[in-house]
Amino acid sequence: MPVVEESVVIARSPHEVFAFIVQAENLPIWDSMTIEAEQVSNGEPGLGTRTKGVSKLLGKRLDWTSEVTAFEPDALATYSTVGGRLKFSATSKLEPADEGTRLTYRVEAESGLAGVFGKMSDPLVTSALARTVRANLGSLADLLEQ
C-alpha cells in the first residue's frame, strides 16, 4: 500500500487553512493533480460530504468520488474514495505552530497505484506522488500567505 506523507508550515491560523482546504472548488487551485472538483452533497463540508472530481496522474485522467470519513473542524479532514478507478484516502491534519499552522497531508492508496499504470512499480509512482504533494503544499502555502 503506497503511502505519502508531507508537511508544510503555513503562516495562517488553523481556522483559515482548514476553511480553505475543505472547500471542494479550491482543490484544483492548489493541487496540480486535480483538474476539477465539486461538492455534490448539500450543506457545509462535514462528515459524509461527497465530492466528485477528475485528477490527472502520470498523464492519465481519473474520475473519482470521495466522501469525508473523518472531520474535526480546524484540525482534521479525511476523504476516502467511494467511486472511480483510483482508490485512495487523503488526510489533512492541522496543528498550531509558532509560525502559523503545520499541515500534514497523508495519501494512502488502498490497492496500490501501480495497478492503474500497468507495469510501473509502486515505488516509482510513490516517489513521483511525493514530489507532487510537496510541490502542492508549497503552492498552498504561497497562496494562503499572499
C-alpha cell at 29: 487551485
Q: Are 125 and 114 in contact (CB under 8 A)?
A: yes
Residue 126, pLDDT above cutoff 90: no
C-alpha cell at 141: 502555502
The secondary structure of the chain in percent helix, strand, coil, rounded to multiples of 5, reads 30, 45, 25
pTM: 0.88
| Domain interval for residue 71 | 3-145
Q: Give the CATH number for residue 69.
A: 3.30.530.20
The mean per-residue pLDDT over the stretch 65-71 comes to 98
CA trace torsion 93, 36, 128, 131 (10° rounding)? -50
pLDDT value, residue 119: 44
pLDDT value, residue 20: 98
78-125: pLDDT as tens digits? 999 999 887 889 999 999 998 899 999 999 876 545 555 544 456 777
C-alpha distances in Å from residue 135, one per residue of 68, 87, 119, 120: 24, 22, 26, 22
Q: What are phi and psi of 15, to 5 degrees?
A: -60, -45
35-49: pLDDT as tens digits? 999 999 999 999 999
What DSSP state is assigned to residue 32?
A: T
Domain count, the chain: 1
